[in-house]
Amino acid sequence: MSEFKRGVLDTSVVIDLKKIDRDLLPGDLAITAITLAELTAGVGYATDALDRFARQHALQAAEATFDVLPFDTDAARIYGQADLLVRLAGRKPRGHAPDLFIASIAAANDLPLLTRNPKDFIGLESLVTVIPV
């Protein structure tokens, strides 16, 4: 079982949730409004009707299953720090804006961020706890 009671799922975890050992995850899970936006946009990237149905189903399941944390004033202030930290780490924040928004929301809520892509959050270690799953 995870050492954390609550956590924020990155979009990559939501997409792969059926492949992940639930014992690696906290019992109380949330997603961000950014993840919801990414999942919604993903429906439009479907290559055929079956893929579109699967993506729409995943979107609706996420909406029904998880609390959705907003990008609020606190997250907006933290985003500025995240942008700076990523640049100081030698990365370009513009190509990683959704990741920075998600990390900022997790940090604003003082929650760890669970991801399948920890490299997307390099430089943010002082801002948010990133947990690879």
Question: What are the DSSP calls for 13-40, one per residue?
Answer: HHHHGGGS-GGGS-SEEEEEHHHHHHHH
Q: What is the CATH number of domain 6-132?
A: 3.40.50.1010
For residue 89, the tally of other CB atoms under 10 A from its CB is 13
Predicted pLDDT at 39? 97
CA 99-80-103 angle, 5° bins? 30
- Please tell me the predicted confidence (pLDDT) of residue 1: 53
* 3-class SS of residue 81: helix
Digits of tens for pLDDT over the chain (133 positions)? 568 899 999 999 999 999 999 888 999 999 999 999 999 999 999 999 999 999 999 999 999 999 999 999 999 999 999 999 999 998 887 778 999 999 999 999 999 999 999 999 999 999 999 999 9
Q: What is the model's pLDDT at position 2?
A: 65
What are the φ/ψ torsions at residue 50 (nearest 5 degrees)? -65, -45
| DSSP structure class, residue 47 | S
Residues with Cβ within 8 Å of 3's Cβ and at least 6 positions away in sequence, in order, are: none
User: Residue 8 is encoded by which pair of tokens?
Assistant: 């924020």
As given in the structure block, the two tokens for residue 13 are: 């975890």
What is d(CA 3, CA 15) in angstroms, rounded to the nearest whole number?
23
**CB burial of residue 90 (10 Å; 0-12, 13-18, 19+):** exposed
Structure tokens at 38: 């990414």
